[in-house]
Structure 1
């Protein structure tokens, strides 16, 4: 009974995230992206890892020289990787041959993934609410990397961003890295 409620809650959360992201896309708050190529990614550019770590950001930055918007591209890649990871965990949960221990671990990992997605979305939206044009946060383990669209951050702005991240994630200030990026 508890597993059914948990699964229903998780499914409802993902549907709500999908609806919210579609609302944001339709509201016009994001810049229009014009692709200059066929839109089919090269096999070398696409990461096949099951989880996102802080090194994934470098791969997206290095392949982003074609004039595309970094923030939009990173979110798309992050969502794709998270979707793959969630699908993999759901396969384990629904596999009748899997042990109960591995099913329980997969269930916990899926819930942790949903919580991580929620924290990242909250931080990004709070940073935008402070007047920044765009931001992306990468939570990995016990650290956070924040990339903010800005031509130059003042110490006050860095303090605002750090405060948002520490309050939302519970991480200490020495575990937070803030990078400014202009597009």
Structure 2
């Protein structure tokens, strides 16, 4: 009995570590290629303010020539999105494998089995929403986009050198409608 709980705790810990690693990957990937860090914050009334700072000095800085430096920058940007999606898929597949291991183990107690099944269901629902939102944003003209959904938090990394308030509103509309998440929980990160 004790070894079953210990295995379950170890498996659950590994799943949590994978989620934390994915979050940290997104968190530290907030820097764009030109050294600009982008973020948005809620204004308290559901509105979003998009700000970009260079080197953390608080001054606004947008590189108007970003993305015009030739084919190499476009290639690096395309690789970023492809690599991000590949890493996300690999991480999610590992999480599902761990959960499947818990679910398939005949020694798993009923409560742990139910928790693993619920986590797997939540994970697959998030994956489906991510693909849906990415597809809808691409249909609206956003060239490259990556969406990660976590409980109470959504990150949208979008390739757009000129992310206007109208485009931010369009992204927020799609994300909030498809995920039922509040606008203040959505972080839009422009990546050139």
Q: TM-score range by the shorter chain?
A: 0.5 to 0.7
Under a length normalisation based on structure 2, what TM-score does the superposition of the two structures give?
0.64
Q: Which residue of 2 aligns with 1:43?
A: none
Q: 1:67: Cα distance to partner?
A: 3.8
Long gaps (5+) in structure 1: 1-47
Q: Which residue of 2 aligns with 1:55?
A: 24
Q: Which residue of 2 aligns with 1:180?
A: 190
Q: 1:76-97 deviations in whole A, cap 9, x for unaligned?
A: 0000000000000000000011
Structure ID, larger Rg:
2
User: Is 2:90 the partner of 1:80?
Assistant: yes
User: Any conservation in 2 of the 1:61–1:70 contact (CA below 8 Å)?
Assistant: no
- Greater per-residue strand proportion: 2
Q: 1:60: Cα distance to partner?
A: 5.4
Long gaps (5+) in structure 2: 1-15, 34-74
Change in Cα spacing, 1:67 to 1:135, as seen in structure 2 (3 Å) is closer
Matched residue count: 134
Q: Which residue of 2 aligns with 1:160?
A: 170
Higher RCO (Cα < 8 Å, 6 or more apart): 2
Q: Which residue of 1 aligns with 2:123?
A: 113
Change in Cα spacing, 1:175 to 1:58, as seen in structure 2 (3 Å) is closer
**RMSD of aligned Cα (Å):** 2.4
